[in-house]
């Protein structure tokens, strides 16, 4: 399968890239950092360098692929001006546009524990909103929402 991974070579997407490449899939990894290109290619994947804020870039990267793994990267939580809920909505809408325009049919969305709640969940409302946005896509698009609990990166 032709698979698009967002999340660069981050905590989840790096081991995921290795596993999918080993299983024979054609994997494209999105990173915003041109310096990651070589590392992505060294894993046997294709690098797509650009930002998740750019819908046209997402459309062209998603086009022709069988499946996409979509995630919202952490932002600068110490930035007092950051509207985290708006950030999640913006990227959720970007993904929805890219899925629609590219015609991609299979999507795995990294959501979160608590994403079923529409209030009282603090910043998890961001993940709730992204699920809602993606659920409004055509039923022809098969979407799996993953709702992990908290996970720790220092354990592997």
Ligand X SMILES: NC(=O)c1ccc[n+]([C@@H]2O[C@H](COP(=O)([O-])OP(=O)(O)OC[C@H]3O[C@@H](n4cnc5c(N)ncnc54)[C@H](OP(=O)(O)O)[C@@H]3O)[C@@H](O)[C@H]2O)c1
CB of 140 to ligand X, least distance (A): 26
Does position 20 interact with ligand X (CB under 6 A)? The reply is no
Specify the 3-state DSSP secondary structure of 123: helix
Does position 68 interact with ligand X (CB under 6 A)? The reply is no
Nearer to ligand X, 124 or 138 (CB): 124
- C-alpha to C-alpha distance for 18 and 92, rounded to whole angstroms: 26
Q: Which one of residues 22, 53, 83, 118 is an interface residue with ligand X (CB under 6 A)?
A: 53
CB-closest chain residue to ligand X? 10
Does position 52 interact with ligand X (CB under 6 A)? The reply is yes
Kindly provide the residue ranges of all beta strands, DSSP E only, lying in 92-140, ordered along the sequence.
106-110
Measured at the CA of 143, the angle between CA 22 and CA 156, to 5 degrees, comes to 45
Does position 112 interact with ligand X (CB under 6 A)? The reply is yes
Does position 74 interact with ligand X (CB under 6 A)? The reply is yes
- Specify the length of the chain in residues: 156
Binding mask 25-44 vs ligand X (x if CB under 6 A, - otherwise)? Answer: -----xxxx--x--------
Task: Number of residues interacting with ligand X: please give it, by CB under 6 A.
Answer: 23
Q: In 3-state terms, the chain is what percent helix, strand and coil (to 5)?
A: 40, 20, 40
Does position 148 interact with ligand X (CB under 6 A)? The reply is yes
**The residue to which tokens 């069988």 are assigned:** 66
- C-alpha to C-alpha distance for 133 and 35, rounded to whole angstroms: 32
Name which of 127, 122, 68 is nearest 95 in CA terms: 68
Site of interaction with ligand X (CB under 6 A): 7-8, 10-13, 30-33, 36, 51-53, 71-74, 110, 112, 148, 150-151
């Amino acid at each position: 399968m032709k698979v698009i991974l967002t999340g660069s070579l981050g905590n989840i997407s790096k081991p995921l890239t290795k596993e999918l490449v080993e299983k024979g899939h054609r994997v494209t990894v999105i990173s915003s950092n041109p310096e990651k290109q070589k590392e992505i290619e060294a894993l046997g994947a294709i690098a797509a360098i650009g930002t998740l804020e750019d819908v046209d870039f997402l459309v062209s990267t998603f086009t022709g692929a069988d499946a996409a793994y979509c995630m919202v990267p952490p932002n600068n939580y110490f930035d007092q001006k950051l509207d985290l809920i708006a950030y999640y909505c913006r990227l959720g809408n970007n993904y929805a546009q890219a899925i629609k325009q590219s015609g991609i049919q299979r999507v795995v969305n990294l959501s979160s524990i608590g994403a079923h709640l529409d209030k009282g969940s603090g910043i998890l409302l961001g993940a709730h909103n992204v699920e809602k946005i993606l659920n409004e896509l055509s039923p022809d698009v098969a979407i799996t929402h993953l709702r992990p609990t908290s996970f720790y990166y220092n354990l592997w």
